[in-house]
Amino acid sequence: MTPAPLARRLVAEAVGTALLVAVVVGSGIAAQRLSPDDIGLQLLENSTATVFGLTVLILLFGPVSGAHFNPVVSAADWLLGRRAGTGLAGSDVAAYAVAQTVGAIAGAVLANLMFDVEVTRLATTERTDAQLLLGEVVATAGLVALIFALARTGRGALAAPAVGAYIGAAYWFTSSTSFANPAVTIGRVFSDSFAGIDPASVPGFLAAQIVGGALGLALVRYLYPDVAAAADDVVVPHTDRSTL
């Protein structure tokens, strides 16, 4: 398959990640206002919006860029496919990560503007406990393993609902509420809301996500030894259809 031009893929990754963070942060702000005295209900509202929002965004942008929206997924795609000549080119990984991170910050700012939250105020929610970092390892490992297992077994068409469902479930079964994404983690710094994370907590989350990504990749390589052949189809199969 011939991938879409890099510029087009980067736009898809930036806009897709921006909208994902707008969904996460915006629904978090709305939940905080709608249910100010019930944290459990806030989490339910936030996770439900994220499940549907992420599913729709993968369907929308996946055919262009694969809908990674996540530097860990992009790096894993490159690492897995580099020997087999599949997946992202090494020169594209950094560009993807920059586009995703810039998009994530823009998405948080957009959510702030929509809900009239002070744009220049950074998040103050501390997330530094060891159990939260363990939750991020688990959440990220599961996400990476799921994505590559679906690609390897030819079930990429199920990625949108499956990834959405996994993240929605991980909101509840992980102590960290499943950020599982370095770009989204950085983006959430820029909104002092229910979904935010203070800057001092970010390095620990990023480290946990990298460890989780490595563990997830190791697991899927063990379960599916020839998984590298499917790296081109992560998160969903994508190719340049502009001439069709």
Q: What is the pLDDT of residues 39-61, one digit of tens each?
A: 999 999 999 999 999 999 999 99
User: Which of 161, 148, 151 is closest to 55 using CA atoms?
Assistant: 161
Whose tokens are 């959430």? That residue is 188
Cβ density class 78-114: b for 16+ within 10 Å, e for less: bbbbbeeebbbeeebbebbbebbbbbbbbbbbbbbee
Answer for the pair 184, 24: CB distance below 8 angstroms, yes or no: yes
DSSP string, 124-161: ------HHHHHHHHHHHHHHHHHHHHHHHTT-GGGHHH
Q: What percent of the chain has a predicted confidence (pLDDT) above 70?
A: 97
Give the N- to C-terminal CA distance of the chain in Å, as an integer.
Answer: 13
Q: Point out the least confidently predicted range of 31-35, 52-56, 82-86.
A: 82-86
Taking 3-state DSSP, the helix, strand and coil percentages for the chain, each rounded to the nearest 5, stand at 70, 0, 30
User: Which of 188, 218, 211, 220 is closest to 123 using CA atoms?
Assistant: 188
Ordered structural domains, the chain, with CATH: 6-233 (1.20.1080.10)
pLDDT value for 197: 97
pLDDT value for 244: 37
pLDDT value for 203: 98
**Sorting pLDDT into bands at 50, 70 and 90, what band is 146?**
very high
pTM metric for this prediction:
0.94
For the residues 133-159, what does the mean pLDDT come to? 95
Grouping H, G, I as helix, E, B as strand and the rest as coil, residue 92 is helix
pLDDT higher than 70, residue 1: no
CA distances from 82 to 90, 100, 155 (A): 8, 21, 22
Name residue 112's amino acid: N
Taken in order 136, 140, 141, 146, the sign of the CA dihedral is: positive
Report the C-alpha gap between 43 and 40 in whole angstroms.
Answer: 5
Name residue 188's amino acid: R
Report the C-alpha gap between 64 and 235 in whole angstroms.
Answer: 11
pLDDT value for 243: 42
pLDDT value for 237: 80
**Sorting pLDDT into bands at 50, 70 and 90, what band is 218?**
very high
pLDDT value for 236: 82
